[in-house]
Structure 1
Amino acid sequence: MYNTIFCIDDDPISLMISKKMISKTEFAKEVITALNGEEALRMYDNLKEKATDLISKPELIFLDLNMPVMGGWKFLEIFTSKDYLEFNTIKVIILSSTIDPQDLAKAKTYSIVVDFLPKPITIGMLDYLKEKLK
């Protein structure tokens, strides 16, 4: 379905599960990862500055909220700023273990966030997203 998906999560086990599920279901050809929002923004900065094809532009982001260095909310705040306008068509799925209604409400304030789902990624979740994101 997708060429490249970006998983941003500080938990290596969650990243491994995500990669396995995405590969198993052929949801994407390539999965790239970052361990926090700051690392993810650096990757986008490289895409902007070098205009290189060495890194494929992700079409979908799976984003964790609670990470050290830079969490998901700060990443979204910066990523939706004018500095990253060329990436504003990329859809974001928040993957989190939180069930806080305030987090769900906050997610809805970002137009690029298309869903808020519980960790970890499952085959059923990817099937659901295939239908939703057609």
Structure 2
Amino acid sequence: MYKKILCVDDDPITLMLCKKVIQKCEFSETIEIANNGEDALAYLESFSQKGITPTTDLPELLFLDLNMPVMGGWEFLDIITERRYNEIFPQLKVIVLSSTIDPKDIEKSKSYPMVLDFLSKPITREMLEELKNNNT
């Protein structure tokens, strides 16, 4: 079980479904949400500004939508890569959770070191079980 995850999506129904499935599967103790990449970035920046200690309760996994207003998933991934967030948050891994099925998007996601997988919406119990099994 993850201690904390962050779900980033602009659709409130997707966020609600994501939260319910995660809770039902006991996949994470805490589920935080952000409505777009900018909100997610601000959330992560708040940790780096406070100072990170071994007891800081950082998210370990981030479910990220690609197509969002304000700041989409690709822009978010570019910024956290550029700012070397993998060094600040080495435990943070990203699962792209998108409605797109474009093979180019799947390939592009593999170019980001923090991206573990690319999954199609909606999130399901089976997806979470597979993630648990592959990342334990």
Q: Once the 2 structures are TM-superposed, how far is the Cα of residue 80 of structure 1 from its aligned partner? A: 1.4
Q: Which residue of 1 aligns with 2:73?
A: 72
Q: Which residue of 2 aligns with 1:9?
A: 9
Could you list the runs of 5+ residues in structure 2 that have no partner in the other structure? none
TM-superposition CA deviations, 1:81-113 (whole Å, max 9, x none): 235230143111000010111101100101111
Aligned residue runs from structure 1 range 19-58, under 5 A: 19-51=19-51, 56-58=57-59
Match of 2:101, SS state, is coil
User: What is the rounded CA distance, in whole Å, between the counterparts of 1:116 and 1:30 in structure 2?
Assistant: 22
User: What is the rounded CA distance, in whole Å, between the counterparts of 1:56 and 1:14 in structure 2?
Assistant: 25
Q: What is the TM-score when the length of structure 2 is the normalising length?
A: 0.92
Q: Aligned residues, how many?
A: 133
Match of 1:62, SS state, is strand
Q: Which residue of 2 aligns with 1:104?
A: 106
Aligned residue runs from structure 1 range 116-131, under 5 A: 116-131=118-133
Q: What is the TM-score when the length of structure 1 is the normalising length?
A: 0.94
Letter in 1 for 2:9: D
Q: Which residue of 1 aligns with 2:61?
A: 60
User: What is the rounded CA distance, in whole Å, between the counterparts of 2:7 and 2:41 in structure 1?
Assistant: 12
Contact 1:80 1:88 in 2 (8 A): no
Letter in 1 for 2:106: L
User: What is the rounded CA distance, in whole Å, between the counterparts of 1:11 and 1:98 in structure 2?
Assistant: 15
User: What is the rounded CA distance, in whole Å, between the counterparts of 2:90 and 2:64 in structure 1?
Assistant: 15
User: What is the rounded CA distance, in whole Å, between the counterparts of 1:112 and 1:87 in structure 2?
Assistant: 10
Could you list the runs of 5+ residues in structure 1 that have no partner in the other structure? none
